[in-house]
Amino acid sequence: MSRVCIIGNSHLGAFKLAVDGPEIPGISDRFEFDTFGSIRASILQTRISGDRLIPTRKDVTESFARTSGGQTEIRLGSYSVFVMAIRNSPYWIRPYLFDTQLGPVSDTMVEAIHRDFLDDWSIELTAEIARTVPEARVFFVGRPLNSQKDFLARRLFRQLDGDENAANLAIKDQLLMRLNAVAANIPVAPNVAMVRPPDHVLEPHGLFTLSKYSRGAQKADTGMKQVFKDDDTMHMNGEYGRDMLVHMLAGL
Q: How far is CA 51 from the centre of its chain?
A: 23
Q: What is the pTM assigned to this prediction?
A: 0.94
For 154-188, write each residue's pLDDT tens digit: 999 999 998 889 999 999 999 999 888 888 888 89
Q: For the chain, what is the domain count?
A: 1
For 115-134, write each residue's pLDDT tens digit: 888 889 999 999 999 999 99
User: Does residue 228 have a pLDDT over 80?
Assistant: no
User: Does residue 231 have a pLDDT over 70?
Assistant: no
User: Does residue 24 have a pLDDT over 80?
Assistant: yes
Q: How confident is the model at residue 39 (pLDDT cuts 50, 70, 90)?
A: confident
For 180-223, write each residue's pLDDT tens digit: 888 888 889 999 999 999 999 999 999 999 999 998 887 775 55
Mean pLDDT for the chain?
92
> Whole domain around residue 87: which residue ranges?
2-249
For 11-23, write each residue's pLDDT tens digit: 999 999 999 999 9
CATH of the domain at 111: 3.40.50
User: Does residue 50 have a pLDDT over 90?
Assistant: yes
- The pLDDT value recorded for residue 49 is 97
User: Does residue 227 have a pLDDT over 60?
Assistant: no
